[in-house]
């Protein structure tokens, strides 16, 4: 009875799969939807006002530090804007590439592949989600007192990673020398460059904030020392565990070698 029920479920799933719309149409629709999300995110980012609370805090009284933070904030948001724009261009080029593939299908040079189509759809959705996360983190950085740089760096890397997946998926079923594919490659390079600039500026900003806060509050520095001690202890324990595992592996290899040697002698 259970086996029959399972077979029925499989048959229903297959019928639903067969009744779905053309995978190529699905891909284009989803790419366009993700493009719209990224464009909306770009508008949201353009409305973010740079008013970090840290600059208004008594912790920052040095004019040079204020100027450095201001320059880094400008660099961060310029890089974030460029990154979102590059991601938008990449998705737009992916739409053009998909339309090229659809035309090739009409001349029997290309076959629809549902598995590949789902992979491309998933990649485009990840790009849209990663861009939304980036804009959210940029907004927090503009309004929070401190500590949001790491989240922004992670978000920037997420955009770079997701766009790389989209490029890979798009290249799998397209002419590498077509106009759309060349545009995808150019946008991919722009994404990587902008993400690198953004992570560098955000990392530098985080270091300046940390030094400034430590200087104003020695207790924070002491806390960091204890944190560093704890990290060193953890590292030592991990190194010890690694050495133990390596010893086990060496013993297993020795036993294996001895066993094989005895077999050969026999």
Token pair for residue 33? 């939807």
Who wins on pLDDT, 32 or 20? 32
At 210, which helix (H) or strand (E)? helix 179-216
Who wins on pLDDT, 225 or 2? 225
Residues 54-84 as b/e (b if ≥16 CB within 10 A, e otherwise) read beeeebbeeeebeeebeebbebbbebbbbbb
Q: Using one digit for the tens of pLDDT, what is the confidence trace for 56-111?
A: 444 445 666 666 666 777 888 888 999 999 999 999 999 999 988 888 776 665 56
At 222, which helix (H) or strand (E)? helix 218-265
Q: DSSP letter string over 102-115?
A: HHHHHTTS----HH
**Do the beta carbons of residue 69 and residue 54 sit within 8 Å?**
yes
Phi, psi for 60 (deg, rounded to 5): -115, 100
The pLDDT confidence band at residue 129, using thresholds 50, 70 and 90, is very high
What is the model's pLDDT at position 139?
A: 86
Q: DSSP letter string over 224-241?
A: HHHHHHHHHHHHHHHHHH
What is the model's pLDDT at position 94?
A: 93
Residue 21 clears pLDDT 70, i.e. is over it: yes
Radius of gyration of the chain (CA): 27
Who wins on pLDDT, 51 or 120? 120
CA dist 37 and 131 (Å) reads: 9
Q: Using one digit for the tens of pLDDT, what is the confidence trace for 133-166?
A: 999 988 888 776 555 788 888 899 999 999 999 9
Q: How many CB atoms lie within 10 A of CB 44?
A: 15
Who wins on pLDDT, 115 or 39? 39
Who wins on pLDDT, 41 or 254? 41
What is the model's pLDDT at position 13?
A: 42
The reported pTM is 0.66
Q: DSSP letter string over 14-63?
A: HHHHHHSPPHHHHHHHHHHHHHHHHHHHHHHHHT-----GGGGSTT---H
Q: Using one digit for the tens of pLDDT, what is the confidence trace for 194-234?
A: 999 998 888 887 766 666 555 545 454 444 555 566 666 76
At 193, which helix (H) or strand (E)? helix 179-216
């Amino acid at each position: 009875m259970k086996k029959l029920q399972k077979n029925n479920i499989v048959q229903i799933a297959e019928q639903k799969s067969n009744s779905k719309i053309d995978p190529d149409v699905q891909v284009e629709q989803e790419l366009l939807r993700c493009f719209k999300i990224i464009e909306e995110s770009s508008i949201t980012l353009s409305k973010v006002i740079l008013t970090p609370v840290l600059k208004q805090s008594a912790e920052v009284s040095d004019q040079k530090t204020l100027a450095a933070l201001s320059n880094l904030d400008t660099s961060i948001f310029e890089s974030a804007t460029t990154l979102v724009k590059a991601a938008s261009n990449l998705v737009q080029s992916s739409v053009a590439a998909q339309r090229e593939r659809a035309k090739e299908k009409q001349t029997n040079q290309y076959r629809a592949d549902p598995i590949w189509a789902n992979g491309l759809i998933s990649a485009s959705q990840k790009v849209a989600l990663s861009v939304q996360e980036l804009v959210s983190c940029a907004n927090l950085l503009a309004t929070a007192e401190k500590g949001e740089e790491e989240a922004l760096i992670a978000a920037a890397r997420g955009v770079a990673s997701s766009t790389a997946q989209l490029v890979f998926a798009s290249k799998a079923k397209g002419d590498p020398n077509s106009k759309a594919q060349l545009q995808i490659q150019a946008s991919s390079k722009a994404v990587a460059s902008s993400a690198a600039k953004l992570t560098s500026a955000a990392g530098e900003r985080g270091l300046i904030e940390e030094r400034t806060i430590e200087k104003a509050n020695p207790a924070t520095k002491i806390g960091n020392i204890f944190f560093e001690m704890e990290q060193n202890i953890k590292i030592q324990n991990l190194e010890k565990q690694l050495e133990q595992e390596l010893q086990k592996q060496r013993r297993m290899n020795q036993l294996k070698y001895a066993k094989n040697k005895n077999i050969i002698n026999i």
